[in-house]
Amino acid sequence: MAVKAVVPEAHAATGPTPPPAIPGYDWTQHRWGFGVDATKCIGCLRCVEACKRENDVAADAHHFRTWVERYVYLEGEDKPRIDSHHDPVNIEASGSEGEYRFANRYKDAKVEKAFFVPKLCNHCTHPACVQVCPTGATYKTEDGVVLIDHNYCIGCQYCVQACPYGARFFNERKQVTDKCTWCYHRITKGLQPACVEVCPVGARIFGDLKDKQSPISQFIRNNRTYVLRPESGNAPNVYYVGIDKDVV
Amino acid sequence: MPKHISRLIILLVTFGAAAYAAKVFFTADSFYAYGHYRGKSVAEIASDKPKYKGSEYCQSCHAERYAEWSKGVHHSVEIGKVVQCEVCHQAAGGRDAGGMFQHVATGIDHPASGKLPVPTDSLKLCPLCHEKMPGRPAEQRQIVIATHAGTQQCTACHNPHSPRMIVVAGAAAGQAETGAMGKAAICAGCHGGEGVSVNPVWPNLAGQHSAYLVDALKAYRTGARQSAMMSATAAGLSDADIQSLSDHYAAMKLKVAASAAGSASAAAGKAKADTCATCHGAEGVSGNPAWPSLAGQQKDYLVGALKAYQEGVRKNEIMAGMAKGLSDADIDALATYYSSATVH
């Protein structure tokens, strides 16, 4: 078949293809997972800022790989009020689009319940975005990360539409779609993703699901965790603690 | 075979062969190596250079700051609360010549790329985490800025690398003064360099009786009087320090503008003040140095003090009895009157 014809001969002869040439890293030894403890999040948005710096994301309020949502239940209201750093009130409070801050807009309101929920790409086991990509520019790696090959992406944005979590956005500068990579360039060097590194309260947990002593394995073992939109069939890999039914 | 059929077959085969050749030619070598994608792109993405270096990276050059930080509450590993250096000072890696964050390939790391920013406006930075806000978990240390510090910079009192440690403002400004003046620099962070406090909930000290100030500081030191800020500050003072500080502030002249004088509330307060005058003087300047003068004192502080006596938070038999009979309106009127009373 055509498939075999394009595989380099040396590989075809020696059986399974060797893993990608990443120094000191074998992707067959890892399966990454992410945890979010919403009971700890203080909404400081340092993760949003760090992610932008680390990954060279446009420094405006409307392009981001990770974000934090604030859910506020006021007395006498059925539905929560939800805002994020790109809400105009929060942009005004931060002073510019390149800075991120939650305005203290509910300080005098009668708040029944309120909490913050950090969000990012779920790196699903059955990702809808990969399913719809017409060029093979986005894919799922052996170690459980969904990546985008910016050289092959044609910017059609089918994947932006397909993602049930709104995790993808269009990078106008490069004319390709963009999203969280769990800082693949960091985790393959033994580092934590930038958002996890800077979180001052430990609300973001990252690690190897194959290592039973890793922070993420312990987080899942020691908590009753939940994933967003389980009914979508995407089998997401970001595990949440401390969120409400209104969080989707 | 009819000619037109064989031509059609030749055409289809040629087209198929051309399409196949084009596919082989245009498909990248590593495509399909692991799946329906370019296998080499995995290593390409992984080869990007990390920009956040972690606090250990800072340690080799900034050992002193690192030691200070690693002992403080911003490095509480046991409860998982660690504020890394780069949270406030920004990423150390991947900068261009202008200190901006450009593409990884061209980025230069600190220190080669220049100095990292030192945040100048702590009143903007610290509240990102510590401003009291619905939604923040109760375990997070939170303050209401207006009553905690007003417009005062956080760094006037707190060392950002170890926030529970109270900054010696004088030392921070490079003044190596010792004795009362050096210590007074600490007080000045809240009570003002001229003994007029920067926030109305904290008392003015200028022109206050020395004996009263000595009693107050000693009460904070023993715990007889409670205040998170003052207890910590007074704990480090010797008797001699307390005496010299009190003398220092007693010798100052209180300079405040009599703003609310003549208002209805002040007049109501004057009518109520007869009882107070017995001890605190007709003009709010007490005759006995053990009792505080009230003239020109901060209004919010006076209100707070009277309420603290009412609730028993602040203990004094005479004042407890006096404050018991006062309504909120009375307290407000008295505080307005004394805060506006002319200072002699």
Tell me the mean pLDDT in the region B138-143. 91
The H or E element spanning position A114 is: strand A111-119
A53 vs B101: CB contact, 8 Å cut-off?
yes
The H or E element spanning position B184 is: helix B179-191
Same domain, B247 and B271: no
Distance in Å, alpha carbon of B265 to nearest chain A alpha carbon: 27
**Whole-angstrom distance, CA of residue B123 vs CA of residue B108:** 30
Stretch among A129-133, B134-138, B163-167, B276-280 having the lowest mean pLDDT: B163-167
| Three-state secondary-structure class, residue A207 | strand
- pLDDT for B172 equals 39
Same domain, B248 and B329: no
Tell me: the pLDDT tens digits for B302-332? 999 999 999 888 888 889 888 988 999 999 9
**Whole-angstrom distance, CA of residue A44 vs CA of residue B127:** 9
CB-based contact, A29 to chain B, within 8 Å:
no
Domain membership flag for residue B46? no
Residue A41 has pLDDT above 70, yes or no: yes
The answer to whether B52 and B93 are in contact (CB under 8 A) is yes
Distance in Å, alpha carbon of A151 to nearest chain B alpha carbon: 8
Tell me: the pLDDT tens digits for B179-208? 556 677 778 777 888 888 877 888 999 999
Query: How much of chain B, in percent, has pLDDT values that exceed 70?
Result: 89
**Residues, chain A, total?**
248
- pLDDT for A125 equals 97
Beta-bridge partners for A32: A208
- pLDDT for B237 equals 85
Output the domain CATH number for residue B269: 1.10.760.10
Same domain, B230 and B282: no
Angle between helices B239-250 and B179-191 (to 10 degrees): 60
A20 vs B43: CB contact, 8 Å cut-off?
yes
Residues of chain B contacting residue A185, judged by C-beta atoms under 8 Å apart: 45-50, 104
Same domain, B343 and B297: yes
**Whole-angstrom distance, CA of residue B241 vs CA of residue B221:** 12
Same domain, B268 and B341: yes
Same domain, B261 and B343: yes
- pLDDT for B258 equals 59
- pLDDT for B177 equals 46
Identify the domain boundary among B81, B102, B118: B118
Tell me: the pLDDT tens digits for A97-110? 989 999 999 999 99
Stretch among A60-69, B162-171, B196-205, B225-234 having the lowest mean pLDDT: B162-171
Most B-contacting residue of A45, A106, A131, A197 (CB-CB within 10 A), to test interface: A197
Identify the domain boundary among B66, B83, B118: B118
CB-based contact, A73 to chain B, within 8 Å:
no
User: What is the ipTM metric for this complex?
Assistant: 0.89
pLDDT higher for A204 or B230?
A204
pLDDT bracket for residue A7 (50, 70, 90): very low
Please state whether A31 falls in left (phi above 0), alpha (psi between -120 and 50) or beta.
Answer: beta
Tell me the mean pLDDT in the region B134-155. 87
Same domain, B239 and B305: no
Residues of chain B contacting residue A42, judged by C-beta atoms under 8 Å apart: 129, 136-137, 140
Domain membership flag for residue B41? no
Tell me: the pLDDT tens digits for A62-106? 999 999 999 999 999 999 999 999 999 999 999 999 899 999 999
pLDDT bracket for residue B96 (50, 70, 90): low
**Whole-angstrom distance, CA of residue B295 vs CA of residue B282:** 10
- pLDDT for A14 equals 55
Tell me the mean pLDDT in the region B263-291. 84
Same domain, B342 and B290: yes
- What is the span of the domain harbouring residue B207? 189-255
Most A-contacting residue of B23, B27, B34, B84 (CB-CB within 10 A), to test interface: B34
pLDDT bracket for residue B342 (50, 70, 90): low
The answer to whether A120 and A48 are in contact (CB under 8 A) is no
CB-based contact, A159 to chain B, within 8 Å:
no
Residues of chain A contacting residue B43, judged by C-beta atoms under 8 Å apart: 20-22
Tell me: the pLDDT tens digits for B44-85? 999 988 999 999 999 999 999 999 999 889 999 988 899 999
The answer to whether A72 and B134 are in contact (CB under 8 A) is yes
Tell me the mean pLDDT in the region B257-262. 59
CB-based contact, A71 to chain B, within 8 Å:
yes
Location of structure tokens 């446009």: A58
pLDDT bracket for residue A122 (50, 70, 90): very high
Same domain, B343 and B272: yes
Residues of chain A contacting residue B102, judged by C-beta atoms under 8 Å apart: 56
Domain membership flag for residue B333? yes
Structure tokens at A54: 């680390």
Tell me: the pLDDT tens digits for A157-197? 999 999 999 999 999 999 999 999 999 999 999 999 999 99
Q: Which of residues 106-145 of B touch A (CB under 8 A)?
A: 124, 128-129, 131-137, 140
A6 vs B50: CB contact, 8 Å cut-off?
no
Most B-contacting residue of A49, A53, A129 (CB-CB within 10 A), to test interface: A53
The H or E element spanning position B267 is: helix B264-272
**Whole-angstrom distance, CA of residue B24 vs CA of residue B29:** 9
Structure tokens at B341: 């009373």
Same domain, B262 and B325: yes
Residue B257 phi, psi dihedral angles, 5° rounding: -85, 130
The H or E element spanning position B331 is: helix B328-340
Q: What is the mean pLDDT of chain A?
A: 92
**Whole-angstrom distance, CA of residue A213 vs CA of residue B26:** 45
- pLDDT for B198 equals 74
Same domain, B262 and B242: no
Domain membership flag for residue B158? no
Residues of chain B contacting residue A173, judged by C-beta atoms under 8 Å apart: none
Tell me: the pLDDT tens digits for A16-25? 788 899 999 9
Q: How far is CA B116 from CA A247, B94, B121, in A?
A: 38, 12, 15
Tell me the mean pLDDT in the region A229-236. 95
- pLDDT for B156 equals 79
CB count in 10 Å sphere of residue A128: 18
Identify the domain boundary among B95, B118, B141: B118
Stretch among B37-41, B228-232, B294-298 having the lowest mean pLDDT: B228-232
Same domain, B219 and B261: no
Most A-contacting residue of B27, B45, B79, B82 (CB-CB within 10 A), to test interface: B45
| Number of domains comprising chain B | 3
Residues of chain B contacting residue A56, judged by C-beta atoms under 8 Å apart: 101-104
- pLDDT for B238 equals 87
Domain membership flag for residue B301? yes
Q: What is the mean pLDDT of chain B?
A: 84
The answer to whether A86 and A61 are in contact (CB under 8 A) is yes
Domain membership flag for residue B134? no
CB-based contact, A18 to chain B, within 8 Å:
no
Beta-bridge partners for B162: B159
Domain membership flag for residue B184? no
The residue in chain A having the minimum alpha-carbon distance to the alpha carbon of residue B30 is: A7
Residue B136: exposure state from Cβ atoms within 10 A (0-12, 13-18, ≥19): buried
Tell me the mean pLDDT in the region A126-153. 96
Residue B127 has pLDDT above 90, yes or no: yes
CB-based contact, B81 to chain A, within 8 Å:
yes
Domain membership flag for residue B16? no
| Three-state secondary-structure class, residue A119 | strand
